[in-house]
Chains A and B, each alone.
Chain A
Amino acid sequence: MQNLIRSEREARGWTQAVLAEHLEVSRQTVVALETGKYDPSLPLAFRIAHVFDKPIEVLFTPALTS
């Protein structure tokens, strides 16, 4: 799954630690989410959408397969 977490975070001028604080997760988890190493659960995806005030389907899109 692809996501816009990094661009949305940077657009707000937040560090990964600040986003981690907003989401109540570790910074390591934010790194894993941004790099696509980890796809969030539905509750966490909703929290991310709430923090960025964007719909889930805007933030997360299916990965393009070759």
Chain B
Amino acid sequence: MTSDLDSGGESPTERRRRRSFRVRLWVGTGCYLLASFALFEWGHATSPWRVVWAVLPLLFMVWVIVVIVLRVRRLDEYQVKLLFPGLAVGFTVAMFAAVTLGTLSGAGFDVPNAGWPVALIGIVAWEFTNLVTGASKA
């Protein structure tokens, strides 16, 4: 049975937190993309400055990690319960992919840009698990 009181969307606090999270996340991601562009544009030179270009995107990734950690700390107990399976499966699959690529590399296979496939496989496994458990609606 439903009633008019069942509607109402997010609470004001929830909406404010979600907006704040999205703005911070996209600012960090945008800066990361700009820094990555700078890396690919100027980071291949032989000058000592290439170290700066190489490290710059990572600083913005640290910012993104901090934003995500703050968001997770504000989740309530039910949201944490929903989030956990996706993270656990994503982490396990990513570690399995890393070990698989490491083993292939150890056997002499050429595994270029090995970090990116691991990240992509982990994210896909995470999102797929969220879809299965219904956490994607959280």
Contacts and interface: CB of A to CB of B under 8 A. Distances in A.
Interface of A: 9-10, 13-18, 20-21, 24-29, 31-33, 38, 40-41, 44
A18 B12 CA distance: 9
Given A10-B3, A10-B5, A15-B5, A24 B13 contact: yes
B13 A28 contact: no
Given A9-B5, A16-B8, A21 B13 contact: yes
A37 B105 CA distance: 46
Interface of B: 3, 5-14, 75-79, 81, 137-138
Contacts of B3: 10
B8 A27 contact: yes
The DSSP consensus for interface residues of chain A is helix
A18 B11 contact: yes
Contacts of A15: 5-8
Contact of A17 (B8, B77, B137): B8
